[in-house]
Amino acid sequence: MIDLNQKESAYQKIKGMIVHGDLQMGQNVSDKLLSTKLKLGLTPIRDALNLLKSEDLVISYPKKGTFVFELSSKLFFDIFESRRIFETYGLKTSNKLNHNLLVIREEEILDKMSVSIKEKDFLSYARLDSEFHESFILGTENDVLIKLYRNLEPKIATIRNTINLNLSEFNTNESFKMHKKIIKFIKNENIDKSIELLDHHIFVWYDKVFKLTSNMKLDLKAFKNRLSTYRV
């Protein structure tokens, strides 16, 4: 009988290794090596890998093995477009359903972000950054949308952590200022402006990623062509 606690433990640990870059994008994943490293049996490791396959975080190829997902130009841009669609819709809908709750929730996150910046705890800030954006989705009360977004978030975090985009004082301060502006316009019930700023904020994030991808195996020309079709 499978120990569900071991399966969940294996799943969370391997997922964490992917998100934090211990297992890098495109890297071969050996169930035997993971079993030894995590001190867990092969069965929970394989069950965890199957679950991660269903989330497209790892991919298996016949006669080749299992690998962490690899960042392609298409996947990169697909994530960019998906975030824009999900989050701008989420902001508009969650504000319409419960304006006050949205403001309270986001201001609580902003307060925690401020503490993280003061303490130079950039890993904590990165986690709070994810919570800030996810709050727009949670406020829609749409279970299907929430599930789709949460399936996307680990890939976003993996990309971010791979290039260390948020893990610096300059980037956290810049990001924090933008978050505050977005909430300011929500509080003032200028939703069109807050959506415009959120859209721009997402674009700036991916534009920075694009400029830092020289060490990644991306078809930069193809990505640039797709990016050129987008206008803030």
| 25-46 pLDDT, tens digit each | 999 999 999 999 999 999 999 9
Give the residue, 225 or 218, on which the prediction is more confident.
225
d(CA 218, CA 224): 11
Indicate if the pLDDT at residue 150 is higher than 80: yes
Q: Of the given ranges (20-29, 104-113, 187-196, 218-227), which has the lowest mean pLDDT?
A: 218-227
d(CA 215, CA 225): 19
Burial of 53 (0-12, 13-18, 19+ CB in 10 A): middle
Q: Rounded mean pLDDT of the chain?
A: 87
Average pLDDT rounded to a whole number, residues 177-188: 96
Residue 76: band (very low, low, confident or very high) from pLDDT cuts 50, 70, 90: confident
Give the residue, 160 or 86, on which the prediction is more confident.
86
pTM: 0.83
How high is the pLDDT of residue 1? 46
Query: Which residues belong to CATH 1.10.10.10 in the chain?
Result: 4-68
Q: Sheet with 65-68: list strands edge to edge.
A: 28-29, 65-68, 58-61
How high is the pLDDT of residue 4? 67
d(CA 7, CA 166): 31
Average pLDDT rounded to a whole number, residues 157-176: 75
Give the residue, 4 or 145, on which the prediction is more confident.
145
Give the C-alpha distances (Å, rounded to integers) separating 209 from 151, 164, 166, 206.
Answer: 20, 10, 10, 5
Tell me which fold the domain 73-227 belongs to: Four Helix Bundle (Hemerythrin (Met), subunit A) (1.20.120)
Percent helix, strand, coil in the chain, to 5, is 70, 5, 25
Residue 213: band (very low, low, confident or very high) from pLDDT cuts 50, 70, 90: low
d(CA 86, CA 133): 10
Query: Which residues belong to CATH 1.20.120.530 in the chain?
Result: 73-227
Average pLDDT rounded to a whole number, residues 55-62: 93
CATH architecture of 4-68: Orthogonal Bundle (1.10)
